Chain A
């Protein structure tokens, strides 16, 4: 979808949809928001809706960073300690590797 051809109000609606959508435990929507609307928010010359788009992009970015931090911490802990947790580790796992503890 080419943002060039959209009028500004529609750009704002789209950005807003992605921002609110990301609250439903969908951090990828925030990632898309940040990447897609980055040029619109910070690089293009000012237009009316740009301020709001900028807010949405900034907040999406913050949310994204938070998710990345939480997921990285959990993944590191789980990968390290799954074998030691025994039963709990096995019940939390979706795929258990064969032949290694």
Chain B
């Protein structure tokens, strides 16, 4: 304030003179004042921006839209902190100042409260959920029967097993993620900003002694306007219309890349069936989701599975070099399995249409690692498909072999008439009856209390570190969770080796490395910016968002080449070999006689920093690890209303923000506007009158010309 007053005084003092000196002085003062203008903007005095918010976005599939939508200029509502379910009466019926912005604690973020607010959505402007650091006893916003329409069980195949008739896999699911809300729902962390909001509520919005709170009231405005509507065919059609002057993309198909690697390399340019080639596929899923956008970690849901498989791949590296098994082992990591099996349906489609290095007939069996967050002492369960078991005698032999391979844990086979849990194996079975097993820690319903929720984090896996460790020490510390996952990985590796026809006597030498498991758990669940990940990666760039399905097209720009994800580099480092190629040779390996880009991928990784130097020890890794596109076949075929394949798309948006400010009453606003309009008309009238009567009002009294005497 003071500097501004000083500046304006100085400018006024300089006057509006025409001399060049005055002009120079004015311009000097002007530039001096300009440097000081940032702190006193009126906007900053009114609005407080909320920075740590996460919105819920809109997703569409062939028939529906789910998620949340705000109006294009944001939704404003008077803040109300909900105390209990009965307190919902205030925003929904009793409160005198609708619409309300309801602030919920996470314990009140339940289906019944959200549905009540959805039904009265003209009085509810939006919802803000405060996410605490400790998790509630259970919470799963996913449906009770995940992926029920795109699995293998349908009216034609095991009709009594379809739609979770025999086993409900996710009984705690409340289905909130799949509901449609026409108001914005944001999540806030429990930090200073949230305290500020609650304080604002207590200062201004509390009803005192039963009387209505007085204006001005504390209000919140949420912006999360989504561009896409109705369903996927509509939004893809609107994407394609190139009739208007500035075509706007409104939605993007969900999709990313699958990562696969094999013990014996395949020529990446030769697709289709390979004679006399029999492959054991080891599969795991990479992704997970939550109600809010991009906050999913999926610790028990997906990280436990793929970390186990990565450790098993590393455990098999040595023994398969010494004594290669008869069958090849293909490690497949599927992306997008949450949304109707995007990754696995794409791989199966590619196999069926001769666009992948092997064919469905080349597959000997499938071993899938599901949710395996065993806490020591619990069992591992081997799920298989009852329908194909009935019809297939080969299946029996394989099953016997597979069951005999697992001997460390107490391995149990669940009820023979129980269907497969939601897993990528179901998509393989849809195409062809292939023997397969899904390894999981649950006998029937999931043990995971936070399936596909933002609470499925490190705490859910009991990943605890002693409090006095630095981040580097935490990275190396082997937790109990890591130990039990290492045991699972050892079992998986041995089973895979036996399954692939390896030398029986070498099986006991296969052991997974707990240090690698614990480093991976740390990197994926605690902090991805650690020295091990950096050493494995090609540059210290931004480490994408793990868990949620990465999209390549964000608000205004599309990344031309997505940066390969961590899993790709990890699998390459764990199964590949270090070479002594230079960096330029690593980029063009075909020039060398023994190297071929068709058979291997060559990645330049940073390496670790040796203790006595500052330069990183970079080197070239050669691995038979590839990325394949994981976009649903529905988008390749243009069948946006497909019932067989995933049709999920995510809407685009321009910006997402939240802010709070004080609002005045509507009456005061109308009064101000009225007074302004009245002043306008009065001034017009006065001007009119003055101009018509100008000669009367401004008559100059002519003085008689005084003669100069």
| A94 to B238 CA separation, bound complex (whole angstroms) | 11
Within the complex, the shortest CB–CB distance from A78 to chain B, in Å, comes to 16
* A90–B225 CB distance below 8 A: no
* B229–A100 CB distance below 8 A: yes
Report which of A91, A94, A98, A101 forms a contact with B248, defined as CB distance below 8 A.
Answer: A98
* B237–A90 CB distance below 8 A: yes
Known contacts A98-B250, A99-B226: A90-B238 contact under CB 8 Å? yes
* B227–A87 CB distance below 8 A: no
The reply on A48 being an interface residue by CB < 8 A is: no
* B241–A90 CB distance below 8 A: yes
| A74 to B243 CA separation, bound complex (whole angstroms) | 21
Name the interface residues of A45-101: CB closer than 8 Å to any CB of B.
86-87, 90-91, 94-96, 98-101
| A95 to B244 CA separation, bound complex (whole angstroms) | 6
The reply on B596 being an interface residue by CB < 8 A is: no
| A90 to B239 CA separation, bound complex (whole angstroms) | 11
Name the interface residues of B198-248: CB closer than 8 Å to any CB of A.
225-230, 234, 237-238, 241, 243-244, 248
The reply on B490 being an interface residue by CB < 8 A is: no
* A101–B230 CB distance below 8 A: yes
Interface SS, B side: loop
Q: How many A-B contacts if CB must be within 8 Å?
A: 29
| A98 to B244 CA separation, bound complex (whole angstroms) | 14
The reply on B140 being an interface residue by CB < 8 A is: no
| Cβ contacts under 8 Å, B365 to chain A | none
Within the complex, the shortest CB–CB distance from A92 to chain B, in Å, comes to 10
* B243–A94 CB distance below 8 A: yes
* B234–A86 CB distance below 8 A: yes
The reply on B69 being an interface residue by CB < 8 A is: yes
| A74 to B394 CA separation, bound complex (whole angstroms) | 68
| Cβ contacts under 8 Å, B684 to chain A | none
Chain A contact residue count (CB 8 A cutoff): 11
B246 — nearest CB in chain A belongs to which residue? Answer: A95
Within the complex, the shortest CB–CB distance from A28 to chain B, in Å, comes to 23
Interface SS, A side: loop
| Cβ contacts under 8 Å, A100 to chain B | 229
Report which of B225, B237, B241, B243 forms a contact with A99, defined as CB distance below 8 A.
Answer: B225
| A95 to B250 CA separation, bound complex (whole angstroms) | 13
The reply on B690 being an interface residue by CB < 8 A is: no
Chain B contact residue count (CB 8 A cutoff): 16
Known contacts A90-B238, A91-B241: A98-B227 contact under CB 8 Å? yes
B226 — nearest CB in chain A belongs to which residue? Answer: A99
| Cβ contacts under 8 Å, A91 to chain B | 241, 243
Within the complex, the shortest CB–CB distance from A86 to chain B, in Å, comes to 7
The reply on B72 being an interface residue by CB < 8 A is: yes
* A101–B237 CB distance below 8 A: no
* B69–A99 CB distance below 8 A: yes
| Cβ contacts under 8 Å, A90 to chain B | 234, 237-238, 241
* B227–A99 CB distance below 8 A: yes
Within the complex, the shortest CB–CB distance from B230 to chain A, in Å, comes to 6
Known contacts A94-B243, A94-B244: A99-B229 contact under CB 8 Å? yes
A96 — nearest CB in chain B belongs to which residue? Answer: B238
Within the complex, the shortest CB–CB distance from B296 to chain A, in Å, comes to 25
| Cβ contacts under 8 Å, B230 to chain A | 101
| Cβ contacts under 8 Å, A96 to chain B | 238, 241, 244
| Cβ contacts under 8 Å, B234 to chain A | 86, 90
Within the complex, the shortest CB–CB distance from B11 to chain A, in Å, comes to 45
Within the complex, the shortest CB–CB distance from A1 to chain B, in Å, comes to 27
| Chain B positions 245 through 285: 1 when the CB is less than 8 Å from some CB of chain A, otherwise 0 | 00010100000000000000000000000000000000000
| A62 to B634 CA separation, bound complex (whole angstroms) | 55
B241 — nearest CB in chain A belongs to which residue? Answer: A90
Name the interface residues of B52-72: CB closer than 8 Å to any CB of A.
69, 72
Tell me which of A91, A94, A98 has the highest count of chain B C-beta atoms within 10 A of its own C-beta.
Answer: A98
| A70 to B445 CA separation, bound complex (whole angstroms) | 64
| Cβ contacts under 8 Å, A94 to chain B | 243-244
| A86 to B641 CA separation, bound complex (whole angstroms) | 14
| A91 to B72 CA separation, bound complex (whole angstroms) | 24
| Cβ contacts under 8 Å, B227 to chain A | 98-99
Within the complex, the shortest CB–CB distance from B180 to chain A, in Å, comes to 12
* A101–B229 CB distance below 8 A: yes
| A41 to B642 CA separation, bound complex (whole angstroms) | 66
| A100 to B244 CA separation, bound complex (whole angstroms) | 18
| Cβ contacts under 8 Å, A86 to chain B | 234
| A86 to B225 CA separation, bound complex (whole angstroms) | 22
| A98 to B250 CA separation, bound complex (whole angstroms) | 8
| A98 to B230 CA separation, bound complex (whole angstroms) | 11
| Chain A positions 8 through 32: 1 when the CB is less than 8 Å from some CB of chain B, otherwise 0 | 0000000000000000000000000
* A87–B229 CB distance below 8 A: no
| Cβ contacts under 8 Å, A95 to chain B | 244
| A91 to B244 CA separation, bound complex (whole angstroms) | 10
Within the complex, the shortest CB–CB distance from B184 to chain A, in Å, comes to 12
Q: List 22 A-B contacts (CB under 8 A).
A: A86-B234, A90-B237, A90-B238, A90-B241, A91-B241, A91-B243, A94-B243, A94-B244, A95-B244, A96-B238, A96-B244, A98-B225, A98-B227, A98-B250, A99-B69, A99-B72, A99-B225, A99-B226, A99-B228, A100-B229, A101-B229, A101-B230
In addition to A90-B237, A99-B225, A101-B230, 13 A-B residue pairs with Cβ atoms within 8 Å of each other are A90-B234, A90-B238, A91-B243, A94-B244, A95-B244, A96-B238, A96-B241, A98-B248, A99-B72, A99-B227, A99-B228, A99-B229, A100-B229
Q: Which 9 A-B pairs have the closest CB atoms?
A: A98-B227, A101-B229, A99-B227, A99-B225, A101-B230, A99-B226, A94-B244, A95-B244, A96-B238
